[in-house]
Amino acid sequence: MARPLSEAKRQAILASAVRLVASMGVGAPTAKIAYGAEIAEGTLFKYFANKDELLNQLYVTIKAELGATILEGFAPHAGIRERGWHIWSRWIDWGADYPLKRQAMRQLRVSERITQASKEAGHTAFHDVSAAFQQAHAEGPLRDQPLAFMNASFEALVETTLEFIARDPQRRDDYKQAGFQIFWNGVGS
């Protein structure tokens, strides 16, 4: 079935879901999500067959958006540190600028309702980001661990850094630097 109707409404539903999942978790009622999107309760189910599908698409969509955002302006031939910093920097900026999306992701990540398929789709969307790590990985001291482990550590530190920025936005830049330093030193030389 081709995507029905208004793309604007679809986006409104996703945007409303971001807000509600961020604050209430995946238990946020579909009726509230619909209300936040200014559509009727039943209309939501024209766009998403059921709540699980909405949640999964939300997950994949945010992940894809983040992936694309990170890669904007990425210089594949820059030095390894520059590439790492680019990813770190854009990721942090995205998370600090869209705290609700970040919060929603936090909830979705731990939810049993996100299928394996969605997680894989998320990885796919992140493919280029992962690729950018490969060289660094191959050369670093973690070369015997899966690339995924380095990726995950990076992400964990991004998450930690964003948590602190969220609590204390004034020091955004300090945290951004400090977090990257831990990562870079950590996996480096």
Partner DNA sequence: GATGAATGAGAATTCATTCAT
Partner DNA sequence: GATGAATGAATTCTCATTCAT
Residues that bind DNA (CB under 7 A): 1-6, 9, 27-32, 39-47, 49-52
Q: Which of residues 110-129 bind its own copies (CB under 8 A)?
A: 110-112
Packed helices 51-71 and 127-139: angle between N→C axes, nearest 10 degrees:
50
Q: Which positions ≥6 away from 170 have C-beta within 8 Å?
A: none
Binding its own copies (rule: CB under 8 A), the pick from 46, 51, 106, 172 is 106
Q: Which residue lies nearer to its own copies by CB, 76 or 156?
A: 156
The residue to which tokens 């992936």 are assigned: 67
CA gyration radius for the chain?
18
- Closest approach of its own copies to the CB of residue 33, in Å: 16
Kindly indicate which of the ranges 45-53, 68-76, 114-122, 146-154 contains the residues binding its own copies, using the contact rule CB under 8 A: 146-154
> Is 3 an interacting residue with respect to its own copies (CB under 8 A)?
no
> Is 169 an interacting residue with respect to its own copies (CB under 8 A)?
no
SS3 40: coil
> Is 136 an interacting residue with respect to its own copies (CB under 8 A)?
no
CA distance 54 to 51: 5
